[in-house]
C-alpha cells in the first residue's frame, strides 16, 4: 500500500499572518489550522489547539482512537498539509499508523464535501514538491 500523508490544495481562507518591519512575525495559517482542528474534531478526534511553528506554518497534535497523530499546515505556493503518526516513547506505533490510514481516508472524504477546499492532491514525502500532479486519494496500491 502507498500512503500519501501530504496534501496540497486551494482553500477559501484569508492569507493571514503578521509582519513586523518587513519580517514575518507570525506566518500564515492561523485560520486554516483552526478549521482543520475543527474538521478533525468533527471526525471524532481529540485535538490540541494549533500552535505557530514559524516558517513551518502551524501544527497540532491529536488523537484518533488510540492513535497519536500530528498535523502541520503551511503555505508554499498552495496550502500544504501533512498528517503523520506522533508516536510517544514506550509505544510500538501500530495504533498510530492504523489511525493515520483511517483519518487520511476520512479527511479526504470530508475535504471533498467542504466547499472551502478544492484541487486536493495527495503525495508521498518523496513526491511532494517534485512537480508531479499528485493523486486523488491518500491511499493507493503499489
Q: What is the pLDDT of residues 11-28, one digit of tens each?
A: 987 666 555 555 556 677
pLDDT at 123: 97
Residues with Cβ within 8 Å of residue 120, at least 6 apart in sequence: 7, 8, 9, 108, 111, 112, 136
pLDDT at 59: 96
pLDDT at 72: 97
User: Each residue of 114-126: pLDDT tens digit?
Assistant: 999 999 999 999 9
Rounded distance between C-alpha atoms, residue 70 and residue 58, angstroms: 11
pLDDT at 44: 97
- Grouping H, G, I as helix, E, B as strand and the rest as coil, residue 77 is coil
What stretches in the chain show pLDDT beneath 70?
14-26, 88-92
Rounded distance between C-alpha atoms, residue 57 and residue 72, angstroms: 7
Exposed e or buried b per residue across 72-94, where buried means at least 16 C-beta atoms within 10 angstroms of its C-beta: bbbbeeebbbbbbbbbeeeeeee
pLDDT at 55: 83
pLDDT at 29: 80
Amino acid at each position: 500500500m502507498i500512503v500519501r500523508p501530504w496534501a496540497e490544495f486551494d482553500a477559501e481562507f484569508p492569507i493571514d499572518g503578521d509582519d513586523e518591519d518587513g519580517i514575518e512575525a507570525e506566518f500564515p495559517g492561523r485560520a486554516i489550522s483552526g478549521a482543520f482542528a475543527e474538521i478533525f474534531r468533527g471526525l471524532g478526534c481529540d485535538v490540541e489547539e494549533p500552535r505557530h511553528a514559524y516558517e513551518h506554518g502551524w501544527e497540532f497534535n491529536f488523537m484518533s482512537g488510540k492513535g497519536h497523530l500530528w498535523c502541520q499546515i503551511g503555505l508554499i505556493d498552495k496550502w500544504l498539509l501533512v498528517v503523520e503518526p506522533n508516536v510517544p516513547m514506550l509505544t510500538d506505533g501500530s495504533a498510530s499508523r492504523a489511525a493515520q490510514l483511517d483519518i487520511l481516508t476520512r479527511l479526504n472524504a470530508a475535504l471533498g464535501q467542504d466547499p472551502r477546499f478544492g484541487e486536493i492532491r495527495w503525495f508521498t514525502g518523496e513526491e511532494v514538491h517534485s512537480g508531479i500532479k499528485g493523486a486523488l486519494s491518500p491511499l493507493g496500491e503499489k
